Chains A and B, each alone.
Chain A
């Protein structure tokens, strides 16, 4: 029923319409581009929808959707926690966890130890490079200030 053309068409049609609606109160000069861009999005989405009957490619399947979803959630948590735990600690936890989870052979203590070494090594190494060599201040976290 849904192929990649019709699905893309309907999603971006809605986005285009919302964007056009969002541009309704803009002045003439400030609104020309948002309005034009919205209308282009709407126009091309409609064309896609019209053409979708004629053999659009099927939507590409997500292989292993659970892993993808879990990684996305972990990434969201990672970013959300940084301001509290600080960049270093959060990164160690995130990298170690993901490195362990995605290991094709995650049973046994070896996988856990390797994951922690990776997490600690990468986090410390790059934290040091950014903080001391490149002088980019990274969030320390509320507990460490």
Chain B
């Protein structure tokens, strides 16, 4: 591992690595700060630029985009009360009131600083935890992968949607989409509608570009006459330093929020928005003056931002070690890794250690770039918030077309992209979000491969049942699945009993 560290250290300080990270972070902040354009979209629309790069460079840039986009969401959250990306939702609670009080600079500095701290802590945890988890994952056989995917699917139900039933339905639809193509075994051709190109299954990036870019474009067109009224940013000398000093006196808040963010990120299906909301809630609970939250205090902004940027590192833990994305933006990274011929899992740490550690180390650099750009540039990025829709909308469609074509130089992928985009738009109107569908699409084939191989192993060994239900890691995963599947019912009961209202709904 030590030699990987050295290579990684050498790699990240190469000029072009630094440039790619900076470029990624900048592009990410721009897209992240535009209301309606999510972090997932930033990654999906920019991932084609990495196709012909080598794996290291592509990953460095994508990591930068991820870090930048999640941070960028806070700028519009603070200045126009609209999260630029869903994960910044809790930033609006105190960020916008601060801006209304004329303290926009306080809020922006807090957000940049907390994001940087959160991002760095999340990356440290990724660096420490993922090799350990990868070592555990080496012991995973087909039945374990089956149960792991089942666990991921049950979590969708609990976390991914405002309506549990629609989250489940979305997950099931994703499972169904994931079965398109050749069966892993036996040569059955499923749901290809006579198109030979579909036999290899649906390229996940095509679906991601469709699901996360086209609906946003159409929604943008619906709301194209809206103009956001920006709160004024008055800069005063010494404010930044004063705010940072104040934040440094609250290490507990920053650390707690970052840890919450990281661990929410590790859970598949729970994204930055949930991380921010839980962390905000906890900040209120731990505070000596909870009534001040929501009136515009920097603690509220810090809780949300530290958490959602820590979530970036967290969401990469299950992705890199098990191939299971912690959230939709991580799903884009999964697609990019697969295109580079790198199957996420323990192999990344054993065979591709130099690439993997370079990527993880580059996240430190990206977070530092993000911190600097955020502290000095937030005001300038804010000017992009009212970018006219008539230029933005065709531009995104253009990038989606170019991107889906570039994957395999295939027009059918472009048609599929548009098809998924329209499906995503109409399901959104019905209250079904793309997140669960995409996670279902990714987890389905993992579950199926695990299942089919396990059944074959079981046949050879003479007992399928014991293979599925008696291996220790499997039992843990089964218990986790049961807990997460039943969790919503317990929670509903508890809520009915206590009549409590939490922010996390």
A interface with B by C-beta (< 8 Å): 4-5, 7-8, 11-12, 15-16, 19, 22-23, 26-27, 29-34, 36-38, 40-41, 43-45, 47-48, 51, 57, 59-60, 62-64, 67-68, 71-72, 75-76, 78-79, 82-83, 87, 91, 94-95, 97-104, 115, 118-119, 122-123, 126, 129-130, 134-139
Interface-centre pick from B176, B190, B418 (highest chain A CB count, 10 A): B176
B183 & A101 in contact (Cβ 8 Å cutoff): no
Give Cα A43 to B455, complex, Å. 25
Distance of A7 from chain B, by nearest CB (Å) = 6
Contacts of B406 in A (CB 8 A): 130, 134, 136, 138
Known: A5-B165, A100-B390, A104-B390. 8 other contacts (CB 8 A): A27-B183, A33-B175, A60-B428, A72-B422, A75-B397, A98-B393, A119-B394, A122-B394
By beta carbon, the residue of chain B nearest A96 is B394
A136 & B222 in contact (Cβ 8 Å cutoff): no
Distance of A107 from chain B, by nearest CB (Å) = 14
15 contacts between A and B (CB under 8 A): A4-B430, A8-B427, A12-B169, A15-B173, A27-B186, A30-B190, A32-B452, A33-B444, A59-B429, A60-B429, A63-B222, A68-B221, A102-B393, A130-B402, A134-B52
Give the contacting residue for B448; candidates A33, A72, A83; CB below 8 A.
A33
By beta carbon, the residue of chain B nearest A8 is B430
A135 & B394 in contact (Cβ 8 Å cutoff): no
B169 & A8 in contact (Cβ 8 Å cutoff): yes
B169 & A29 in contact (Cβ 8 Å cutoff): no
Contacts of A12 in B (CB 8 A): 169, 173
Q: A79-B418, A139-B411 are in contact. Are A30 and B191 (CB under 8 A)?
A: no
Contacts of A32 in B (CB 8 A): 448, 451-452
Give Cα A130 to B398, complex, Å. 13
B452 & A71 in contact (Cβ 8 Å cutoff): no
By beta carbon, the residue of chain A nearest B179 is A34
Contacts of B444 in A (CB 8 A): 33, 37
Give Cα A62 to B428, complex, Å. 11
- In chain B between 17 and 72, which residues have their CB closer than 8 angstroms to a CB of chain A? 48-49, 51-53
Give Cα A25 to B448, complex, Å. 18
Main secondary structure of the interface of A (DSSP, over half): helix
B394 & A98 in contact (Cβ 8 Å cutoff): yes
Give the contacting residue for B390; candidates A57, A76, A91, A98; CB below 8 A.
A98
Give Cα A19 to B176, complex, Å. 8
Contacts of B179 in A (CB 8 A): 33-34, 37
A102 & B415 in contact (Cβ 8 Å cutoff): no
Give the contacting residue for A38; candidates B176, B398, B411, B415; CB below 8 A.
B176
Distance of A115 from chain B, by nearest CB (Å) = 8
Give Cα A30 to B184, complex, Å. 7
A19 & B191 in contact (Cβ 8 Å cutoff): yes
Give Cα A116 to B397, complex, Å. 16
Give Cα A102 to B401, complex, Å. 19
Interface-centre pick from B49, B165, B393 (highest chain A CB count, 10 A): B165
B169 & A104 in contact (Cβ 8 Å cutoff): no
Give Cα A119 to B398, complex, Å. 10
Give the contacting residue for A95; candidates B48, B224, B394, B432; CB below 8 A.
B394
B185 & A30 in contact (Cβ 8 Å cutoff): yes
B398 & A122 in contact (Cβ 8 Å cutoff): yes
Contacts of B173 in A (CB 8 A): 12, 15, 41
Distance of A144 from chain B, by nearest CB (Å) = 16
Q: How many A-B residue pairs have CB under 8 A?
A: 187
Give the contacting residue for A118; candidates B53, B165, B168, B391; CB below 8 A.
B391
Q: A75-B418, A79-B414, A91-B398 are in contact. Are A29 and B183 (CB under 8 A)?
A: yes
B175 & A40 in contact (Cβ 8 Å cutoff): yes
Contacts of A136 in B (CB 8 A): 48, 51-52, 406, 409
A103 & B52 in contact (Cβ 8 Å cutoff): no
Contacts of B53 in A (CB 8 A): 134
Give Cα A23 to B192, complex, Å. 12
B415 & A67 in contact (Cβ 8 Å cutoff): no
B165 & A48 in contact (Cβ 8 Å cutoff): yes
Contacts of B320 in A (CB 8 A): none
Q: B489 at the A/B interface (Cβ < 8 Å)?
A: no
Contacts of B402 in A (CB 8 A): 87, 126, 130, 138
Q: B461 at the A/B interface (Cβ < 8 Å)?
A: no
Give Cα A53 to B123, complex, Å. 47
Contacts of B249 in A (CB 8 A): none
Q: A95-B398, A98-B394, A100-B390 are in contact. Are A44 and B221 (CB under 8 A)?
A: no
B431 & A37 in contact (Cβ 8 Å cutoff): no
B186 & A30 in contact (Cβ 8 Å cutoff): yes
Contacts of B214 in A (CB 8 A): 75
Interface-centre pick from B222, B223, B451 (highest chain A CB count, 10 A): B222
Give Cα A72 to B421, complex, Å. 10
Give Cα A130 to B190, complex, Å. 34
B188 & A27 in contact (Cβ 8 Å cutoff): yes
